[in-house]
Amino acid sequence: PLKEGDLVLLIQPDTKINTWPLARIQSIIYGRDGKCRTVEIKTSTGVFKHPVNVLIPLELDTPPQSIQT
């Protein structure tokens, strides 16, 4: 399940996979049936709304809060 703060790849069918932009989920928009249908994502170029079927969630070994630099 997707949640706010998750890192995702945004599928763009007319471009090569290695150029798909990274995005972070800002908020989740639920449909009338109570299921997640759309999310608001933030990319390097702005904030957009996209359906969840064009997103690929990325798994991180360590939660973002615990990464130390």
Give whole-number Cα distances, 29 to 14, 21, 24, 32, 49, in Å.
Answer: 26, 21, 14, 10, 9
Q: Are 8 and 22 in contact (CB under 8 A)?
A: yes
Q: Are 50 and 39 in contact (CB under 8 A)?
A: yes
Condensed to tens digits (0 to 9), the pLDDT of residues 11-34 reads: 999 999 999 999 999 999 999 999
Condensed to tens digits (0 to 9), the pLDDT of residues 22-69 reads: 999 999 999 999 999 999 999 999 999 999 999 999 987 656 565 554
- pTM for this model (two decimals): 0.78
Q: Where is pLDDT greater, at 67 or 5?
A: 5
